[in-house]
Structure 1
């Protein structure tokens, strides 16, 4: 009986420790998301290497695929010197799911606005919009770093037609 109680106590304790680690990991990932938003709002990506891996892949909202820290930092910076130079990004929500103890996926809903709309490459003026990003984080040397990301625009006109919203419960 003592062995059973000891085993149960160990399982509960290890579960609590694991939950505490996950809470710390989630906070660390959220801090990295905030660092990226800080870079966006300051239109300066000199700190890109502080929250990304060397091999980061980034797919932007129009399907450009930037490979590695150098390309992805450069491309973000170019666009922030031109069409995004006055945009503001606000985090609306973050949902984190751990794949392993050292790999996590974060889904971020964020809002982009521009006090001075600019002309986009397709000729349209920028409009306030929400985006959904899927970011892959890996823990390297005790630090969570973004290893891949993709950002899409949430199309409000398409949302009523999401089949999951009509799915039987």
Structure 2
């Protein structure tokens, strides 16, 4: 069974930092952005680890948008929290998740950052009873600067298809191709 079709209920972000993580690209006017992003991710991870959804999304804006790995779109902090409460009490309860990398932190104007990170999601069983193996996902987040610090305004998660990776024309150019 294809992982995407089997994950029709996966909540998306999963963060449990077990190994050192380094940003591969940080383009920011503020030298403390990488540390602030990491602190936000660590706060989320700590909430995930104990199933405390309020802690996971304490840094979210009230009007946050979240799109999970299978395209479910939740609008507003209350909806995101409702979804995660369900998933962390059921199919994702106790599922190990690891932050693999903060791939980029890019400013968009003075008050917004776009963050791309990669996560390892442990194996789990969705409601259809199938077994989903551990796999990597990529999360893009839009963060707003506020007087209280960085706040999550938008998150979208996608599955990394390991079988497709060798055919990435940028990372693995086909023989005879030339860069554009």
Question: Is this a same-fold pair by TM over 0.5?
Answer: yes
1:49-128 equivalences in 2 (<5 Å): 49-94=57-102, 95-114=104-123, 118-128=124-134
Runs of 4+ with >6 A deviation: none
Return the alpha-carbon distance in structure 2 between the equivalents of residues 108 and 122 of structure 1: 29
Larger radius of gyration: 1
Match of 2:22 in 1: none
Deviation at 1:131, TM superposition (A): 0.7
1:113-152 equivalences in 2 (<5 Å): 113-114=122-123, 118-152=124-158
What count of residue pairs does the alignment treat as equivalent? 148
8 A contact 1:40–1:88 mirrored in 2: no
Match of 1:161 in 2: 167
Return the alpha-carbon distance in structure 2 between the equivalents of residues 121 and 168 of structure 1: 46
Gaps of 5+ in 2: 1-26
Gaps of 5+ in 1: 1-18
8 A contact 2:44–2:57 mirrored in 1: no
Question: Cα RMSD over matched residues?
Answer: 1.9
TM-score for both structures, normalised by structure 1: 0.80
Q: 1:148 to 1:102 in 2, by over 3 A?
A: same
Which structure's residues are more often helix, by fraction? 1
Pick which of 123-132 and 37-46 moved more: 37-46
8 A contact 1:48–1:69 mirrored in 2: no
Q: Secondary structure at the match of 1:37?
A: helix
TM-score for both structures, normalised by structure 2: 0.75
Greater RCO, 1 or 2 (C-alpha within 8 Å, sep 6+): 2
